Amino acid sequence: MSTVSMDDLPVEETDVLVVGAGPTGLMAGLVLSRRGVTSVVIDQKAGPTRESRALAVQARTMEIYDQLGLVEDVIAGAYLATGMQLRAAGEPAALDLGPAQRPFTRYPGIHIFEQSRNEELLSSALAAVDSDHDDVGDGGREERGVRWQHRLLHLDDHTDRPGGRVEALLEGPGGRLVRVRARWCIGADGAGSAVRGTLNLPFEGTTNDAVFWVADLRGVQGLPENSLAARMGKASFALLFPLGPDGHARVVSMVNGDSAEQTPVLAAARTDLGLEFTAVEWFSTYRVHHRVAAHFARGSVFLAGDAAHVHSPVGGQGMNTGLQDAHDLANLLADVTHGFARPDALPRYERERRAVAVHLVEVTDRAFGLVSRSTRGTAWIRRRAVSLIGPLAPKVLSTSIGARVAGWLGQYRIHYSFAPEGAPTPPWATDRAVGRRLPPAGDNTDALRSFTWQLHSYGNPVERPDAPSWIEGPRDFGVDPAARLRPDRLYLIRPDGFVAASLPVRGGVADAAALRSAARAHQLAT
């Protein structure tokens, strides 16, 4: 292989090379395709994952699936969990997330939809989009969708030179070599990312000493329908995720030491946690890592998902964060491709998404530390905390604090800052809605399915300002009953559904200076 020169191979040109076809890479490829950007998505696997640890699809991810027109497929195939049962000793405490999330999202609760099913849904949708395009190359049908069994051998970024591109050498089935030239590359190839390795980027963090085990069980007793559960024993803890009715559940727990054998581990779970079940479908072990890449981009190469950050399974956040990385990045690359945003807008991705990952790792690391320590003193504290907090938790969830916690869990409270660090907040960004995903009001979220920049008003129709033709609107959606979107403002909405600016309106006319200021801040082409 070393005797073959890349110059001797035919070249395939594309806008974006996506390395990795897990949920993150598939989301990137699908959004790019929906927005008319060519991509090549590769993975060294033979097909979508069959066994997976990730289960939870949070509210914000459901909103993205809605934008893609796939949410009904998820709902049809998912098992909805709206509550959480906490049990240490005595009667368990029950929490209901529904009331805390329902005012803020159309998809409250946690939809249990395994990683493998997310991959199947996204890869099928990507293949369907590609089949509608005529420019699939000479390979015909086999070139559509994901290029399975393609391994990245070499990657060079020459985009710092005039006319330069990212150059990749791939090995396909049977050892066939493939050369790809792309404007950008997205590394979505997991925690052991080959793309991150080529960038020599540190993957900073720690690996926990304990070994986690995961099992799919049947006939689990005491697990309420449509509810997650946390059980605290004298020496251990476990999280239970419902997979279906009649006690079908996935259990995640841990042991100390270098290994965990199925028989003694499950026997200990029966004794310490009171975990009763009738059958074991699947059992596996793994270690938990808490790591974030030093950078999410270098040159024209980006990292997303587990290639950029890994953390504990506490809260079911990992897969969702990767899907949202891809959604953010793919929309940004599409904006630059189509000339809506200038190339100097690209650092926005790292600025927005790395901050989310760092915060998530810090929070889950602290939560993981609380539940994973196995000393008897720590176990007593866990049980005592559940006994004290359990009865109070339903009341807390009904407060504004509870609504915030539910929003963080559902990931729809993510907040991007659009002002440079240390700089005063510009007038168009002082509205609380700016930097957050668009709150649902009327049918405004339906409008997002076009994946366009848009202008929205709420109860006060506004004249169209002097804005680029590719920004749609203004469109009035009527008064927001929750008063999160103001009638005296014109809102600029990004294609990913985040509110980019809130422009003051007087006499039905938006502030032109504020619009120009916001456009400059977002590096929009005007």
Q: Are residues 40 and 128 in the same domain?
A: yes
What is the rounded (10 degree) CA torsion for 408, 409, 412, 418? Answer: 40
Q: What is the pLDDT of residue 332?
A: 98
| DSSP annotation of 324 | H
Q: What is the pLDDT of residues 9-35, one digit of tens each?
A: 889 999 999 999 999 999 999 999 999
Strands 453-457 and 471-476: parallel
User: Contacts by 86-90 with C-beta closer than 8 Å and gap 24+?
Assistant: 86/229, 86/230, 86/386, 86/389, 86/390, 86/393, 87/222, 87/229, 87/230, 87/231, 87/232, 87/386, 88/231, 88/232, 88/382, 88/383, 88/384, 88/386, 88/387, 88/390, 89/383, 89/387, 90/387
Q: Are residues 130 and 35 in the same domain?
A: yes
The residue ranges of DSSP E strands in 188-311, in sequence order, are: 203-218, 227-232, 237-244, 248-255, 279-293, 297-298, 301-303, 309-310
Residues 465, 512: contact at Cβ < 8 Å?
Answer: yes
- Looking at the domain assignment, is residue 325 inside a domain? yes
Helix axes 59-67, 318-337, angle to 10 degrees: 40
Written in H, E and C, the secondary structure of 419-440 is: CCCCCCCCHHHCCCCCCCECCC
**Which residue range is the domain that position 479 belongs to?**
427-521
Domain boundary among 302, 325, 351: 351
DSSP of 241-252, one letter per residue?
EEEETTTEEEEE
- Looking at the domain assignment, is residue 154 inside a domain? yes
Q: Are residues 449 and 333 in the same domain?
A: no
Residue scoring higher pLDDT (339 or 401): 339
| pLDDT-above-70 percentage for the chain | 87
Q: Are residues 195 and 307 in the same domain?
A: yes
pLDDT exceeds cutoff 70 at 143: no
Amino acid at 312: S
Q: Are residues 342 and 434 in the same domain?
A: no
pLDDT exceeds cutoff 60 at 90: no
Least confident span in 33-42, 44-53, 188-197: 44-53
Q: Are residues 129 and 38 in the same domain?
A: yes
Rounded Cα gap, residues 382 and 232, in angstroms: 7
Q: Are residues 194 and 301 in the same domain?
A: yes
Rounded Cα gap, residues 220 and 82, in angstroms: 18
Average pLDDT over residues 81-95: 71
Q: Are residues 15 and 160 in the same domain?
A: yes
Q: What is the pLDDT of residues 365-398, one digit of tens each?
A: 655 555 555 555 555 555 555 555 556 656 666 6
Residues 18, 28: contact at Cβ < 8 Å?
Answer: yes
**What is the number of structural domains in the chain?**
2
Strands 39-43 and 11-19: parallel
Rounded Cα gap, residues 522 and 331, in angstroms: 13
Q: What is the pLDDT of residue 361?
A: 77
- Looking at the domain assignment, is residue 317 inside a domain? yes
Q: Before 474, cis peptide (omega within 30)?
A: yes
Q: What is the pLDDT of residue 140?
A: 37
- Looking at the domain assignment, is residue 234 inside a domain? no
Q: What is the pLDDT of residue 398?
A: 66
Q: What is the pLDDT of residues 241-280, one digit of tens each?
A: 999 888 999 998 888 666 688 999 999 899 888 899 999 9
Instruction: List the beta bridge partners of residue 505.
Output: 510
For residue 111, what are its two tokens?
């939809």
- Looking at the domain assignment, is residue 226 inside a domain? no
Rounded Cα gap, residues 410 and 103, in angstroms: 13
Q: What is the pLDDT of residue 369?
A: 55
- Looking at the domain assignment, is residue 464 inside a domain? yes
pTM (global) more than 0.85: yes
User: Helix, strand or coil for residue 47?
Assistant: coil
Q: Are residues 330 and 439 in the same domain?
A: no
Q: Are residues 34 and 173 in the same domain?
A: yes
Q: Are residues 329 and 432 in the same domain?
A: no
Strands 203-218 and 279-293: antiparallel
Average pLDDT over residues 147-174: 96
Q: Are residues 347 and 450 in the same domain?
A: no
Domain boundary among 351, 367, 388: 351
Domain boundary among 351, 369, 387: 351
Tell me the average pLDDT of the chain: 88
pLDDT tier at 139, thresholds 50, 70, 90: very low
Q: Taking phi first (over 0 means left), then psi (-120 to 50 degrees means alpha), and beta for anything else, what does residue 507 get?
A: left
Amino acid at 142: E
- Looking at the domain assignment, is residue 296 inside a domain? yes
**Residue 320 belongs to a domain with what CATH number?**
3.50.50.60
**Residue 476 belongs to a domain with what CATH number?**
3.40.30
Rounded Cα gap, residues 320 and 236, in angstroms: 27
- Looking at the domain assignment, is residue 380 inside a domain? no
